[in-house]
Structure 1
Amino acid sequence: MTWDIEKLDLDAYLTRIGLAGPFAPSTATLRAVHLAHVRSIPFENLDVVLGRGVALDLGSVQDKLVTGGRGGYCHEHNLLLAAALERLGFPVTRHLARIRLGRSHLPRGHAMLTVRAEGRTWLADVGFGGDGLVEPLPFEEGAELESGPWRWRLGRDGDFWVLHAGETELYAFRPDEPHYPSDFEVANFYVSRSPHSPFVRHVLAQRTTADARIRLEERTFPAAGDLARWLRDELGIEITDQDAQALLPRLRP
Structure 2
Amino acid sequence: MELLDAYCARIGYTGPRAPTLETLRALHQLHPAAIPFEAIDVLLDRPVLLAPEAVDAKLIHAGRGGYCFEQNSLFQRVLSALGFQVEPLIAQVRWMAGAEALHRPRTHMVLRVTIDGQPWLCDVGFGSSVLTSPIRFDLQTPQSTPHEQFRLTPQGNEHLLELVLGDDWMPVYLIAPSPCRDGDYEMANYYTSTYPQSHFRRDLIVARTTPEARHALLRNRLTIRRADGGSERRFLSADEIELALAEVFRLPVAPDWRPVIERAAAAVWDEHHGAGSAS
Using structure 2 for the length normalisation, give the TM-score.
0.83
Q: Is the 8 A contact 2:132 2:147 kept in 1?
A: no
Among 29, 53, 74, the residue aligned to 2:23? 29
Cα distance in 2 between the residues matched to 1:94 and 1:143:
24
**Are the structure 2 counterparts of residues 29 and 243 from structure 1 closer, same or farther at C-alpha, using a change threshold of 3 Å?**
same
Matched, 1:180 2:176: no
- Identical counterparts, % of pairs: 37
What is the 5 A alignment of 1:1-253?
A: 9-101=3-95, 102=98, 103-166=101-164, 167-175=169-177, 177-217=178-218, 218-219=220-221, 221-224=236-239, 226-253=240-267
- What is the CA deviation profile of residues 151-182 of structure 1, one whole-angstrom value per residue up to 9, with x for unaligned ones? 1111112222010011111000221x231111
Cα distance in 1 between the residues matched to 2:16 and 2:146:
27
> Paired residues, what number?
245
Cα distance in 2 between the residues matched to 1:42 and 1:184:
20
- What is the CA deviation profile of residues 52-88 of structure 1, one whole-angstrom value per residue up to 9, with x for unaligned ones? 1310011111111111111111000000000000000
Cα distance in 2 between the residues matched to 1:148 and 1:83:
24
- What is the CA deviation profile of residues 200-224 of structure 1, one whole-angstrom value per residue up to 9, with x for unaligned ones? 1211001111132112223354445
Q: Is the 8 A contact 2:59 2:65 kept in 1?
A: yes
Q: Which 5+ residue runs of structure 2 have no aligned equivalent?
A: 222-234, 268-279
Cα distance in 2 between the residues matched to 1:249 and 1:184:
29
- Deviation of 1:106 (Å): 1.2
Cα distance in 1 between the residues matched to 2:65 and 2:173:
22
Cα distance in 2 between the residues matched to 1:65 and 1:108:
24
Q: Is the 8 A contact 2:237 2:265 kept in 1?
A: no
- Determine which structure has greater relative contact order: mean sequence separation of CA pairs < 8 Å that are 6+ residues apart, divided by chain length: 1
Q: Which 5+ residue runs of structure 1 have no aligned equivalent?
A: 1-5
Q: Is the 8 A contact 2:120 2:137 kept in 1?
A: yes
Quick check: 49-58 or 99-108, which moved more? 99-108
Cα distance in 2 between the residues matched to 1:238 and 1:107:
32
- Deviation of 1:141 (Å): 3.7
Cα distance in 1 between the residues matched to 2:256 and 2:179:
41
Cα distance in 2 between the residues matched to 1:55 and 1:134:
25
Q: Is the 8 A contact 2:238 2:261 kept in 1?
A: no
Q: Is the 8 A contact 2:89 2:180 kept in 1?
A: yes
Quick check: 157-166 or 241-250, which moved more? 241-250
Q: Is the 8 A contact 2:69 2:189 kept in 1?
A: yes
Secondary structure, counterpart of 2:104 in structure 1: coil
Q: Is the 8 A contact 1:132 1:165 kept in 2?
A: no
Other-structure match for 2:270: none
Secondary structure, counterpart of 2:119 in structure 1: strand
**Are the structure 2 counterparts of residues 46 and 161 from structure 1 closer, same or farther at C-alpha, using a change threshold of 3 Å?**
same
Cα distance in 1 between the residues matched to 2:245 and 2:108:
24
Secondary structure, counterpart of 1:86 in structure 2: helix
**Are the structure 2 counterparts of residues 241 and 105 from structure 1 closer, same or farther at C-alpha, using a change threshold of 3 Å?**
same
Secondary structure, counterpart of 1:65 in structure 2: helix
